[in-house]
Structure formats: C-alpha cells, structure tokens
C-alpha cells in the first residue's frame, strides 16, 4: 500500500494505492497549487479525502467571508511514534476564523494489511458553546487511470462501479437531468440500478449526475476499478450518508463522492467531536456482493459436487497478508478439522477451488483468514449444512 497526504491543501489524503493503482480522484488543473495561488475564493478541485463542518448551510454562510482554511488551508504535519508497526501521521489545521474551530486529522496505516484509518477531530476554540458536526468527503476517481489524476475531458465507459447495501430507508434519485447552457445531458437513470443485485445499489459510473441517500447504519461502500482489478472499501459509522455521482456540465471532472455526516454535537470551550473511517483495498474485478472483516466477496462461498467429491468454491479479495483455511465444525460449533487453502494477500485475487471431505458429522463450514502471525482476522463466508 502507498498513502500520500498533503498538509498544504487541507490535510488531504490524495493517494491510497494498491500497487500502482490509486483509488482517489485528483484534479490535474490544481496539481502543485495551494489555496494562496491565484484566486483564493475559487474552489479548487484538489480531490482526495477531506473534511468540512455541518450543518453545511450554516458553515458555508459563515465561511463566505473568510479563507476556507479547513478545506484548503495549510495544515501542520508531524509523524507520531509507531504503534505496533502502524505508521501514524497527524495533521492540524490553522484556527478556522469563520467558525472558531480547529481540525486535527490522524492517519494510520496498519502493517501486513491494506487497512488505513482516518480520524477527524474538530475542537471548539471559542469561549462560548457551539454546535457542529464533521462532514467527511471522499472523492473517488470516475475514470480508470492508475494515478487518479484526471484532466476533465475523460469519457467514462462503465469501468468504474460502486456497490452500496440498500435497505427500506435508502432513497436514490433516478433520471436526474439539468439544463446548462441550453444543453440537456443524458438521464442518470442508466448508471443506477437497484434490481441487478438483490439488496444492493450498483452505480456503473458513466459521468452522469445523480445522488443517493443511503441508510447510515449500513456498514460499507465498495468501489471497483475493473481495468486495474482493484476494489476499495470505506467503512464509517455516521449519522447520515450520501453518494453523489459528479459529471456532465455541472462538474469539471468525473468522480464519485461518498459523504459521511457525523452527529452534530454541542461543544463547550475546548471540547471536541470525532468521526472515524476505515479504508481497505483488495484485488477484485467485481461484483462486490458482501464485505467482511477479512475482505470482499465477489462469488460467495459454496459447496459443489463433482467427480464424486465435494468442492468448496468462491471468489474473493483479501485485506490481509496471511493464510486461508476451511474450518469444518460440528453441530455444537466445535472445530472438527481444517483444510489449508494457501497464502493470501491484498495484491492477488483469491479464487477458492478446493476438495473437502464433508462427513455426516459436519454441520458448518467457515472460510477463515489468519494474519501472518496465525491469528484469525475474520472470515469470507459461512455455510450451515443443517440436519442431514
């Protein structure tokens, strides 16, 4: 994994790359620039991951007369002591004069895995109470280029997909259409589908504008670049979540934005509120039908009969360096036996095709992933065989 943070442009993470493949969007026209280059009031499409405050309407109104320090200001950065092999960086914003707050971003990259954790903490520096929440913005590339740097004239053709779990509380707008300069872009309906995969909303991104409001308790958002075979996963516990597909004449660049809105908290002088998100990456060309602590599921674990034998099959992407094993369990959940399925790594897709002896005593099968120390980190699927 390679992670690049740029303190000078709002403490952003602009690169999260599995091998050479960066998942994040970067706007080429603002490469190498900072807030103080040129027109300070112009919004700059630096891209990547950043944070602002909400309620957004109040924050935008207050910030209209000041430099947007939280979004694009020069943060101070320092490396923190490593913790158990975890690389750690802290970036601290200038005091935001519009809101009387300061934002601290802590970025942690964990060893022998693709896991990255970003913790945003906003502190009230005024002598009176204030009510604010954190709005984390994640901009993912909408065109399959390795670097994530986009010119703005790309024409996405469906190589980028986003998968989001759905529930009855989820809402999304189809057929969004705007008239700008007399031109009417194509309907966004073609890139949004809630019928293709049960329980999932899939966006096959084509550069069209659209928006989805998703149930915030749902645990993950998965992004797939089919050309590189890389999958990116964001997990974040937030009060509200939204997915925006940018494109057409409304936006300068093609990208997908995941927005997470933390709880609005009443902050006394010196008090803080935080929002935490975890990122993971793995090899997977899609679809992503589930995400577990161990990786992404493209084709679920299954048991098949062939040539007089039982075979375990499935296709996955793994978040950890380690080994996979099929664990066969009795009716009481106790382990009866296990079958080693070899090494796994985030750098390679894991395709399972393994013969397994399922005796009458076996009531369940689990595909378990262990880290380099042999400690279980999660599973990629379970099968209950029930009474036989």
| Domain ranges (residues) in the chain | 2-283, 292-384
Nearest Cα residue to 194 out of 177, 172, 222: 172
pLDDT at 178: 32
pLDDT at 175: 41
The per-residue DSSP string of 61-92 comes to: HHHTTS--HHHHS--EEEEEEEETTEEEEEEE
Q: How far apart are CA 76 and CA 73, in angstroms?
A: 10
Q: How far apart are CA 35 and CA 8, in angstroms?
A: 8
pLDDT at 367: 97
Q: How far apart are CA 233 and CA 110, in angstroms?
A: 15
Structure-token pair, residue 311:
């075979």
pLDDT at 213: 82
pLDDT at 127: 96
Q: How far apart are CA 104 and CA 15, in angstroms?
A: 19
Q: How far apart are CA 283 and CA 286, in angstroms?
A: 9
Helix (H) or strand (E) holding 60, with range, is helix 56-63
The CATH number assigned to the domain with range 2-283 reads: 2.70.98.10
The CATH number assigned to the domain with range 292-384 reads: 2.60.40
Answer yes or no: pTM beyond 0.85: yes
**Cβ neighbours of residue 76 closer than 8 Å, sequence gap 6 or more:** 7, 91, 92
**CATH topology identical between 2-283 and 292-384:** no
pLDDT at 372: 94
- What does each of the 388 residues of the chain score in pLDDT, given as a tens digit? 999 999 999 999 999 999 999 999 999 988 888 877 766 556 778 999 999 999 988 988 888 777 778 888 899 999 999 888 999 999 999 999 989 999 999 999 999 999 999 999 999 999 999 999 999 999 999 999 999 999 989 989 889 999 998 876 666 554 443 322 333 344 445 788 877 888 888 989 988 888 888 888 888 999 999 999 999 999 999 988 988 888 766 678 999 999 999 999 999 999 999 999 999 999 999 999 999 999 999 999 999 987 778 999 999 999 999 999 999 999 988 999 999 999 999 999 999 999 999 888 999 999 999 999 999 999 999 999 875 5
Nearest Cα residue to 215 out of 204, 203, 231, 199: 199
pLDDT at 317: 98
Cis-peptide, bond into residue 74, ω within 30° of zero: no
């Amino acid at each position: 994994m390679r992670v690049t943070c740029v303190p000078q442009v709002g403490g952003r993470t602009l690169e999260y790359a599995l091998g050479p493949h960066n998942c994040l969007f970067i706007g080429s026209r603002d490469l190498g620039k900072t807030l103080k280059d040129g027109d300070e009031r112009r919004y700059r499409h630096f891209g990547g991951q950043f944070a602002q405050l909400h309620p957004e309407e109040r924050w935008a109104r207050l910030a209209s007369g000041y430099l947007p320090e939280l979004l694009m200001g020069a943060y101070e950065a320092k490396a923190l002591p490593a913790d158990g092999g975890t690389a750690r960086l802290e970036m601290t914003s200038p005091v935001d004069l519009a809101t009387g707050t300061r934002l601290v971003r802590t970025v942690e990259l964990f060893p022998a895995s693709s896991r990255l954790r970003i913790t945003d903490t906003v502190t009230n520096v005024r002598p009176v109470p204030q009510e604010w929440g954190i709005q984390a913005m994640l901009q993912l590339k909408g065109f399959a280029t390795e670097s994530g740097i986009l010119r703005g004239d790309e024409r996405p053709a469906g190589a980028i997909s986003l998968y989001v779990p759905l529930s009855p509380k989820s809402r999304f707008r189809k057929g969004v259409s705007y008239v700008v300069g007399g031109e009417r872009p194509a309907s966004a309906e073609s890139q949004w589908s809630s019928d293709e995969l049960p329980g999932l909303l899939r966006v096959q991104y084509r550069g069209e504008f659209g928006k989805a409001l998703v149930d915030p308790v749902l645990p993950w958002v998965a992004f797939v670049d089919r050309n590189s075979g890389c999958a990116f996963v964001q997990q974040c516990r937030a009060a509200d979540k939204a997915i925006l597909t940018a494109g057409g004449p409304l936006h300068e660049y093609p990208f997908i934005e995941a927005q997470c809105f933390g709880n609005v908290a009443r902050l006394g002088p010196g008090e803080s509120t935080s929002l935490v998100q975890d990122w993971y990456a793995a090899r997977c060309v899609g679809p992503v039908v589930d995400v577990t602590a161990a990786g992404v599921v493209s084709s679920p674990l299954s048991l098949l009969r062939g040539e007089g034998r039982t075979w375990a099959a499935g296709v996955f992407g793994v978040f950890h360096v380690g080994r996979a094993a099929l664990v066969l369990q009795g009716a009481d959940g106790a382990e009866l036996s296990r079958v080693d399925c070899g090494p796994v790594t985030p750098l390679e897709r894991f395709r399972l095709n393994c013969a397994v002896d399922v005796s009458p005593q076996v009531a369940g099968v689990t595909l378990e992933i262990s880290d380099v120390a042999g400690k279980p980190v999660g599973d990629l699927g379970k099968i209950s065989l029930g009474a036989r």
